[in-house]
A and B are shown apart, each in its own frame.
Chain A
Amino acid sequence: MGRSTVKEGGGKLTVVEVRAADGRVASARMSGEFFAYPEGIVEKVEEALVGVPLDEEEITKALSRVLGREGGVIVGVSVPSLAKAIVLAGREA
């Protein structure tokens, strides 16, 4: 399990833990001091990452897709920063 922490200026501390398999996300968990809407969105984001290649562009697309589909918003960490952290965590795993 690889782990990476994001703390953007003015943002909220966010930790991602990723298990990787064959260059893809096998499982992911986000935790931290951010806010997320609607309820249940974080679980949906974590599910949507499973199977996605550990590539910033692919991860960004997957994040944007699930957030767009669910009308979800994460306040305190940006999608690009989150994607970067997920890839870092996955590569470390």
Chain B
Amino acid sequence: MAWRLLLEGKKDPYLNMGTDEAILDGVSMGTSPRTLRLYMWRPSAVSIGRFQALEDSVDREACDLAGVKVVRRLTGGGAVFHDEVGEVTYSLTMKEEDLPSRDYVMSFEYMARGVVEALRLLGYRAEFVPLNDVAIGGRKVSGSAQVRRGGAVLQHGTLLLSMDKGLAFRVLKVPAQKVAERGLDRPEDRVVTLRALGYQGGAEDVMKALVQGFSSSLGRKFTEGDLTPLERRAAEDMAEKRYRSRAWLEER
């Protein structure tokens, strides 16, 4: 099977996560091709990591007031604000055997390399910052998270075209330790968007660059395709049964 490119528009947070999980299961079972999916969010949402304590990561009241949804991801990592207008998200799903090594730490870099490449194509000197970030001039422009299941690996991550920073940092809870570690920099100053760097292009241009970037970093050509009926059903099922459920959100 050729590697598939899924160019999707804006979906709701629960369906976005359900879709990523449906693709992961499909690749694991051999019923789905390796896939690069690019998507956006509507409405804006905070996603929290698989292992985060809900209370510690997000201000639910602030989210409610602002109409921002909260969803727990399948992947680990921290809390992320997904801006409805300005965030382009990638998810890359392949088999573990496609990875160049068995090293977990190195796999984050390998799977996020397409983002670094894309930014280079757009004219920016970006660098991968271990464990799972991409930065321009020392400021974070992208973060990624990963999960593995049944011999398949899914990594998804953000790329900030623009962001309502005021809103983002109102709804996210940045732990005191993180603030202390980085001295006097405000959390919002450690993050940068392409807009803030003067980029004039739109989400479509960013997506085009991401496709080229991943194609180049993985040495693969992608064929544009759609979700299969099986995946579509599984995505909706997961969105309903897992991502919308209180039990899942409040698990930790």
Binary contact track B164-177/A, C-beta < 8 Å → 1, others 0:
00000000000101
Contact of A75 among B53, B56, B104, B178 (CB under 8 A): B104
Whether A84 sits at the interface, judged by CB under 8 Å, is no
| A-B pairs under 8 A by CB, number | 61
**Tally of chain B residues near chain A (CB < 8 A):** 24
Find out whether the CB atom of A32 lies under 8 angstroms from the CB atom of B104.
Answer: no
Contact of B178 among A10, A13, A31 (CB under 8 A): A13
List B169-194 residues whose CB lies under 8 Å from chain A.
175, 177-178, 181
Question: Smallest Cβ distance from B205 to chain A, in angstroms?
Answer: 31
Residues of A within 8 A of B56 (CB): 15, 31
Question: Smallest Cβ distance from A20 to chain B, in angstroms?
Answer: 20
Q: CA A75 – CA B51 in complex, angstroms?
A: 12
Whether A23 sits at the interface, judged by CB under 8 Å, is no
Q: CA A65 – CA B181 in complex, angstroms?
A: 32
Instruction: Give chain B's interface secondary structure class.
Output: loop
Contact of B149 among A35, A39, A73 (CB under 8 A): A39
Q: CA A85 – CA B131 in complex, angstroms?
A: 21
Which residues does A use to contact B, with CB under 8 Å? Answer: 5, 7, 10-13, 15, 29-39, 42, 73, 75-76
Known: A12-B78, A13-B175, A36-B76. A31 touches B51 (CB 8 A): yes
Known: A42-B51, A73-B104, A76-B131. A35 touches B75 (CB 8 A): yes
Whether B241 sits at the interface, judged by CB under 8 Å, is no
Find out whether the CB atom of A38 lies under 8 angstroms from the CB atom of B148.
Answer: yes
**Which residue on A lies nearest to B176, using beta carbons?**
A5
Whether B252 sits at the interface, judged by CB under 8 Å, is yes
Find out whether the CB atom of B78 lies under 8 angstroms from the CB atom of A35.
Answer: no
Find out whether the CB atom of A12 lies under 8 angstroms from the CB atom of B131.
Answer: yes
Q: CA A34 – CA B53 in complex, angstroms?
A: 12
Question: Smallest Cβ distance from B35 to chain A, in angstroms?
Answer: 20
